[in-house]
Amino acid sequence: MSIIYNNINNTFTLQTKHSSYQLKIVDLGYVLHTYYGNTIYGDDMSYLIQMANRCFSGNPYECSLDRCFSLDTLPQEYSCFGTGDYRIHSIQTINQDGSYASDLRYSSHKIYAGKYHLEGLPSMYADKDTAADTLELTLKDKSTGLTVVLYYGVFEDLDIITRAAKIVNNSNAPIKLTKASSLCIDFNEMNMDMITFYGRHAMERLMQRTPIHHGIQSVGSLRGTSSHHYNPFVIFCDHAATEESGNCYGFSLLYSGNFLAAAEADQINNTRFVMGINPDQFCFQLNAQECFFTPEVALSYSSEGLGALSQNFHKAYRNNLCRGKYKKARRPVLINNWEATFFDFTGDQLVNIAKDAAELGIELFVMDDGWFGDRNDDFRGLGDWVVNEEKLQGSLKELVDKINALGMKFGIWVEPEMVNENSDLYRKHPDWALQIPGRLPNLSRHQLVLDFSRKEVRDYIYDSICKVLESAPIEYVKWDMNRNLADVWSAALPTDRQGEVFHRYVLGLYEVLEKITNRFPDILFEGCSGGGGRFDAGMLYYFPQSWCSDDTDAIERLEIQYGTSYGYPVSSVGSHVSVSPNQQTGRETSLDTRGTVAMSGTFGYELDISKMTPEEKEIVKQQIKHFKKYYFLIQDGSYYRISNPGENNDYAAWQFVSQDRSSSLVNIVTLHARANAPFMHIKLKGLDPEKQYRINESKETYSGAALIYGGYPVPYEKLTNDYQSLQLCLSEA
């Protein structure tokens, strides 16, 4: 059992392979956080907690003579608002008497083998290959009847601990939740950096590293999605932490809606971190005996730097978050028609693109936006999920049969959460869109958002999309979402419950995704939200991959995919080769370089193949063969960041190493050519120092030690022009 309860000192110690997490029940029933870090062996770490009389830090009534015991200075597992802790809090309620205070104290606990389950929310799971244990810690407020069950899931072999909470109203009157966080953790220091990932549409998850300072620093979203702008993944680490060394803590929220991740360094240089649903415009009513589940947070600790921390999350999410057929099965190399045709296509044109693609070894043809209703531009048609047979020159099945006859699978694009005003659906049900009565709505991409908090909306979308998917042998679905939520008001809820809409929207989406992926278990689903606007761990529970960014420029993608790699596996990254000059940036890059970058993802093409030269088509053939050869090394191997393209102007380099360290693939892209350029040596990672390796099937061999400590000299000709690429294929000699 990875959870150890010591009934003498009332400690719970959660053990993973390389870390320990400890909490303790102290006098009066408060639950304190005592330790998270490198493995400890049976120690009661509460000796680290020091107490002193701090002016203006009050004391619980029962120990008012002990002015040193204050909730305002003690490290807590789940901090409350209104009872003497003035730092950022985990939970806030409006009680039946109008008060806001909560006072949660230990009531009971339960330890059992297996992983807890969250009703209606994504969460990591145990299976026959990976065991987990659960601690349920029940806290109660005796004055209000509020009960909180803190869930801890321990994946010992994965070095992952999960946190979540169930909040229960055990009173006979309604209460309102105005804050319900998933995680609270206190550190007895502030001498750390906080790493977050910011961005914008077409430039997501850029790494930002700042020292923790006094006051509150946070990232979050109020856009109804996790957003392009801030990602629900945060790292704390030593100031000197590198890829290979230093204490690092990762926190990943499995949620796709509004979130807040906030850190506060307090008056005595302790740091609290709280993560969960964003409390802005959140007010959830719990009637008597009703409960509320918070989303899950996955935590991991590494004493060996940022690289090992990332690998913990990569392995855990590949194996114990993603589900379904394509969790392990090889995903097909695809081509998407969007950048080739946009809305302007016919069925015959699509078949012609597919013919060219099939000849090159591409395995899946994806028909993007424009195939349904009156959808010839983005002003109309969203919500009318009926095949436009006139445009396709026949039924959807007839088109798919033609594509299948070429030896290719068929995929389709959908955007089920949206509606155009110019649509049959909106004309029939205008109240199904999120908009505030008496106000003109905010438009984005000429569309409104459907109210997924409503059952009739969910049922309509589910039935409509299922009819399409059942009408033809469709094997891939790209599920898109091309705007953020605004004017959030539901016609189906009373005025005093409008603070529930944001969260109910996400729950409604998850309900539809759960049903539709269960009904079509053999379809490969890919998430998208204008690219990376909903690239989060919550979506990975339903879709094993997401379109990483609408920016397909290979050089921009280096930085985007670099930041993404900190919290998410390569197998989740949708990445394609697009046209040069690139449509977003106008930058010209070689087909070799575009292929090298796109291979660090699910791989595919997004361009008009008919415009390629015979020489380019031959390169595509070889790229596809190369990707297939190294597919499982790329998708399942250990990922190493060799350089940071946001800081290193000379080159970007990254590496995949097989689990047995017998093979490796090293990718290098030169960024800035220099006159009379100096030589460049790339020091490799993850190899076995004692093994001999052959590079690109050459006769010469090098020891792993030589390549790690001495490095590999980049051929000089690769340094004489910008944006050249090089791949090193290493095999054990």
Question: For 342-382, how does the pLDDT look when each residue is reduced to its tens digit (9 = 90+)?
Answer: 999 999 999 999 999 999 999 999 999 999 999 999 999 99
- Tens digit of each residue's pLDDT (9 = 90 or more) over 651-700: 999 999 999 999 999 999 999 999 999 999 999 999 999 999 999 999 99
The single-letter code of the amino acid at 585 is: T
The CATH label, of 3.20.20.70, 3.40.1590.10, 4.10.110.10, 3.40.50.620, for the domain at 332-417+454-483+524-634 is 3.20.20.70
**pLDDT exceeds cutoff 80 at 422:** yes
- Tens digit of each residue's pLDDT (9 = 90 or more) over 295-351: 999 999 999 999 999 999 999 999 999 999 999 999 999 999 998 999 999 999 999
Fold held by 3-8+81-320: Beta-galactosidase; Chain A, domain 5 (2.70.98)
Cα–Cα distance between 78 and 138 in angstroms, integer?
11
Mean predicted confidence (pLDDT) in 182-194: 98
pLDDT in the model for residue 42 = 86
Catalytic position from the list 204, 536, 559, 592:
536
Mean predicted confidence (pLDDT) in 4-30: 97
Distances (CA, A) of 409 to 345, 364, 528, 547, 599: 19, 4, 20, 19, 20
**pLDDT exceeds cutoff 90 at 643:** yes
536 annotated active-site: yes
- Least Cα distance to 152 among 160, 142, 144 occurs for 160
Mean predicted confidence (pLDDT) in 621-634: 98
Quote the percentage of the chain above a pLDDT of 90: 98
pLDDT in the model for residue 339 = 87
What distance, in Å, lies between the first and last C-alpha atoms of the chain?
42
Residues of the chain with CATH 2.60.40.1180: 641-732
Are 196 and 251 in contact by the 8 Å Cβ rule? The answer is no
pLDDT in the model for residue 19 = 98
Give the pLDDT band (50/70/90) at residue 255. very high
Residues of the chain with CATH 3.20.20.70: 332-417+454-483+524-634
Q: What is the token pair recorded at 481? A: 């979402």
377 annotated active-site: no
Mean predicted confidence (pLDDT) in 370-395: 97
Cα–Cα distance between 249 and 525 in angstroms, integer?
31
- Tens digit of each residue's pLDDT (9 = 90 or more) over 28-38: 999 999 999 99
Give the pLDDT band (50/70/90) at residue 194. very high
- CB count within 10 Å of CB 684 equals 25
- Least Cα distance to 11 among 28, 32, 39 occurs for 32
Mean predicted confidence (pLDDT) in 173-183: 97
pLDDT in the model for residue 607 = 93
**Single pTM value for the model:** 0.98
* Orientation of helix 591-598 relative to helix 554-564, angle to 10°: 10
- Tens digit of each residue's pLDDT (9 = 90 or more) over 456-483: 999 999 999 999 999 999 999 999 999 9
**pLDDT exceeds cutoff 90 at 84:** yes
pLDDT in the model for residue 182 = 98
Average confidence score pLDDT of the chain? 97
**pLDDT exceeds cutoff 80 at 64:** no
Catalytic position from the list 44, 374, 616, 732:
616
Quote the percentage of the chain above a pLDDT of 70: 100
- Tens digit of each residue's pLDDT (9 = 90 or more) over 94-142: 999 999 999 999 999 999 999 999 999 999 999 999 999 999 999 999 9
pLDDT in the model for residue 97 = 96
The CATH label, of 2.60.40.1180, 1.10.390.10, 3.40.109.10, 2.60.40.10, for the domain at 641-732 is 2.60.40.1180
**pLDDT exceeds cutoff 90 at 65:** no
**pLDDT exceeds cutoff 90 at 225:** yes
